């Protein structure tokens, strides 16, 4: 299973290796190496290799079923309990294989937070939602916990809207606020990476813009990976864009060049809405 | 990735295909009108035809109207379609091209106004040989750059880019001849100045044709070659797949 990525990107030459990008100026946070994943023997991801640079926003785009959410979930090991899933290759977080036997999965998920399409606040107060992860981590003085909750809510640009009703149910918040609450809950445990799976697709345009602004602000603190069907959103918020199709990485590069002058016809066809 | 002239007709949205096709058609119509304006402006000067010169001067409004109409179409496409990749480059190239075509139209008007001034004088006009020569050259550049735009032909566009230097040289040499005429006969200064303005306008038409050719390279290859020396260009283009 040593197939390198250019083979999975027809139309590209070795020197033009569509997807393997090396970031001369930015160090990588996640290294995905020749990674393949199959559900019950049916391949969903095939020989993917890419580097996700630290403190940048990387977007995965592609048609439904292309494997972008599967890849995102693999980074958080959400496939662990699915016995029909088989993997090969590896994913490294800051140089360490996330599937290494000695690695603590709970610790991995603290370092790699995930936000889903539909906001999923827990049925408890706003405060308790954000403090949930902190409580799981063990005892912490109340003052310190309060400070962390406030910091997380401020980082998620929600503090001003909820500071007077921290002990009310999280379900009293609007959809956009709930999504930012979920992001605050993830931020509270100080992750290194935030995975966002269609974080704004269930939200109205104003809430969407708030989430996008939040993504932009958060990149000074952590590395973000965004899966989206909305290509304009990928173009607006990401620094790098990876285009996946049929479980293969087709093209990966700086968002500016992918959206103005993609190297491959398949990418051009997808982002401009042409027939394949 | 290079694109071809039918690249913009393959969208899932037929309406979008149609909008982009119309944009190209309208740009070509504007190009055709501007080309005709330049040709007739020079003809009015060489044939001493003041009626034709007046017509050119008045036609400039049509060119301006087309620029506004095409720019409106581009704005609408940007707002409604949020184009990307080659579609975006087409819209950007068209916006830039209308600006250059409109200014070529202005240069044609200037030529026509100078033709009118010259037709009012009685003296023999010197320098018309130079005007004829340079006008043929820049009209060919303009025609080729429009053809390159219509066919997405970067080779033809590159030939236009290389031609511009030759026009600049011819212009310099013509100006030196005209200065000699003025020194030889001070009574000819006024009419020679008119011819100089005409040559200056033609030289500017060449510059704008050169710009149009550069936009073709941007449109097809995604390369912005506006501030690159012509001798470096071919090598750069070869590097890009």
Residue A23, pLDDT above cutoff 60 = no
Task: Name which of B1, B16, B82 is nearest A268 (Cβ-Cβ).
Answer: B1
Contact A273 B11 (CB under 8 A): yes
- CB distance B1–A263 less than 8 Å? yes
How much is the average pLDDT of B7-11?
Answer: 83
Contact residues, chain B, for A263 at CB < 8 Å: 1, 241
**Residue of chain A with shortest Cα separation from B4:** A265
Determine the residue of chain B that is closest to A231 in CA distance. B84
Nearest C-alpha in A relative to B85: A260
Task: Provide mean pLDDT across the span B172-197.
Answer: 93
Model confidence pLDDT, tens digit, residues A210-249: 899 999 999 999 999 999 999 999 999 999 999 999 999 9
Is the CB of B88 less than 8 angstroms away from the CB of A260? Answer: yes
A chain contacts of residue B85, beta-carbon cutoff 8 Å? 259-262, 267-268, 271-272
> How far apart are the CA of B80 and the nearest CA of chain A, in angstroms?
12
Residue A3 pLDDT greater than 60, yes or no = no
pLDDT at B237: 63
| B123 Cα to chain A: minimum distance (Å) | 57
Find the closest chain B residue to A265 by CA distance.
B1
B240 CB within 8 Å of a chain A CB: no
Average pLDDT, integer, range A102-107: 92
Average confidence (pLDDT) over B51-65:
94
Taking the C-alpha atoms of residue A140 and residue B86, their distance in angstroms, rounded to an integer, is 55
**Single pTM value for the model:** 0.83
pLDDT higher than 90, residue A176: yes
Which of A13, A232, A260 is opposite residue B85, by nearest beta carbon? A260
Q: Distance (Å) from the C-alpha of residue B86 to the closest C-alpha of chain A? A: 7
CA distance, residue A69 to nearest chain B CA (Å): 24
The residue ranges of every structural domain in chain B are 9-239
- On chain A, the residues whose CB falls within 8 A of the CB of B10 are 269, 274-275
Which residue range(s) make up the domain with A260?
28-272
Q: Give tens-digit pLDDT for A181-218.
A: 999 999 999 999 999 999 999 888 998 998 999 999 99
What is the band of A25 on the pLDDT scale with cuts at 50, 70, 90? low
Decide if A8 is inside a domain: no
pLDDT-derived band at B3 (thresholds 50, 70, 90) equals confident
| pLDDT exceeds cutoff 50 at A1 | no
pLDDT of residue A9: 32
Give a yes or no: residue A222 inside a domain.
yes
**Lowest-confidence range among A15-19, A21-25, A158-162?**
A15-19
In chain B, which residue's Cα lies nearest the Cα of A12?
Answer: B241
Total of domains in chain A: 1
> Which homologous superfamily is B9-239 in?
Phosphate transport system protein phou homolog 2; domain 2 (1.20.58.220)
Tell me if B194 sits within 8 A of B118, measured CB to CB: yes
Question: By CA distance, what is A264's nearest residue in B?
Answer: B1
- E strand spans, chain A: 28-39, 42-53, 57-61, 85-93, 96-97, 112-115, 193-197, 223-227, 240-245, 248-254
Does A244 reside within a domain? yes
pLDDT surpasses 50 at A50? yes
Does A265 sit within 8 Å of B89, measured CB to CB? Answer: no
In this prediction, residue B108 has a pLDDT band, given cuts at 50, 70 and 90, of very high
Q: Which chain B residues are within 8 Å of A268, Cβ to Cβ?
A: 1, 3, 85-86
Q: What is the pLDDT of residue B48?
A: 93
Classify residue A17: in a domain, yes or no.
no
Tell me what pLDDT residue A19 has: 43
Confidence of residue A20 (pLDDT cuts 50, 70, 90): very low
Q: Which residues of A touch B3 (CB under 8 A)?
A: 268
The proportion of chain A whose per-residue pLDDT surpasses 70, expressed as a percent, equals 90
């Amino acid at each position: 299973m040593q197939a390198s990525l250019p083979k999975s990107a027809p139309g590209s030459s070795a020197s033009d290796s569509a997807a393997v990008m090396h970031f001369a100026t930015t160090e990588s946070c996640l290294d995905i190496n020749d990674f393949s994943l199959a559900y019950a023997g049916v391949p969903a991801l095939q020989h993917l290799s890419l580097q996700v640079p630290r403190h940048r926003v990387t977007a995965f785009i592609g048609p439904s079923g292309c494997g972008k959410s599967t890849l995102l979930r693999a980074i958080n090991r959400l496939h662990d309990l699915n016995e029909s899933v088989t993997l090969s290759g590896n994913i490294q977080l800051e140089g360490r294989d996330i599937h290494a036997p000695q690695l603590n999965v709970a610790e991995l998920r603290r370092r790699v937070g995930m936000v889903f399409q539909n906001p999923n606040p827990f049925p408890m107060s706003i405060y308790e939602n954000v403090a949930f992860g902190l409580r799981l981590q063990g005892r912490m003085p109340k003052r310190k916990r309060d400070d962390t909750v406030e910091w997380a809510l401020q980082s998620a640009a929600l503090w001003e809207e909820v500071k007077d009703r921290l002990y009310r149910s999280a379900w009293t918040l609007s959809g956009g606020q709930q999504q930012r609450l979920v992001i605050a809950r993830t931020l509270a445990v100080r992750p290194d990476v935030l995975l966002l799976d269609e974080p704004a697709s269930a939200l109205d345009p104003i809430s969407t813009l708030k989430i996008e602004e939040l993504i932009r602000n958060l990149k000074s603190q952590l590395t973000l990976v965004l899966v989206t069907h909305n290509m304009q959103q990928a173009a607006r918020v990401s620094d790098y864009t990876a285009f996946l199709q049929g479980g293969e990485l087709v093209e990966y590069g700086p968002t500016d060049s992918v959206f103005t002058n993609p190297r491959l016809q398949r990418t051009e066809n997808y982002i401009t809405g042409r027939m394949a | 990735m290079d694109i071809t002239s039918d690249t913009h007709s393959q969208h899932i949205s037929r309406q979008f295909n149609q909008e982009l096709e119309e944009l190209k058609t309208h740009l070509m119509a504007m190009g055709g009108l501007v080309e005709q304006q330049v040709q007739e402006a020079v003809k009015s000067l060489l044939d001493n035809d003041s009626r034709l010169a007046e017509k050119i001067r008045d036609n400039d409004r049509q060119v301006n109207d087309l620029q506004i109409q095409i720019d409106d179409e581009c704005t609408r496409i940007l707002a409604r379609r949020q184009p990307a990749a080659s579609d975006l480059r087409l819209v950007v190239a068209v916006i830039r091209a209308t600006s250059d075509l409109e200014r070529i139209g202005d240069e044609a008007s200037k030529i026509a106004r100078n033709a009118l001034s010259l037709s009012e004088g009685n003296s023999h006009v010197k320098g018309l040989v130079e005007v004829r020569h340079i006008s043929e050259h820049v009209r060919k550049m303009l025609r080729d750059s429009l053809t390159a735009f219509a066919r997405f032909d970067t080779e033809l566009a590159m030939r236009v880019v290389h031609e511009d230097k030759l026009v600049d040289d011819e212009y310099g040499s013509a100006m030196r001849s005209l200065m000699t005429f003025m020194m030889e006969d001070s009574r000819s200064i006024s009419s020679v100045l008119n011819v100089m303005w005409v040559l200056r306008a033609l030289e500017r038409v060449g510059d704008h044709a050169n710009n149009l050719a550069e936009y073709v390279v941007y449109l097809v290859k995604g390369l912005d070659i506006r501030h690159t020396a012509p001798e470096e260009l071919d090598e750069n283009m070869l590097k890009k797949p």
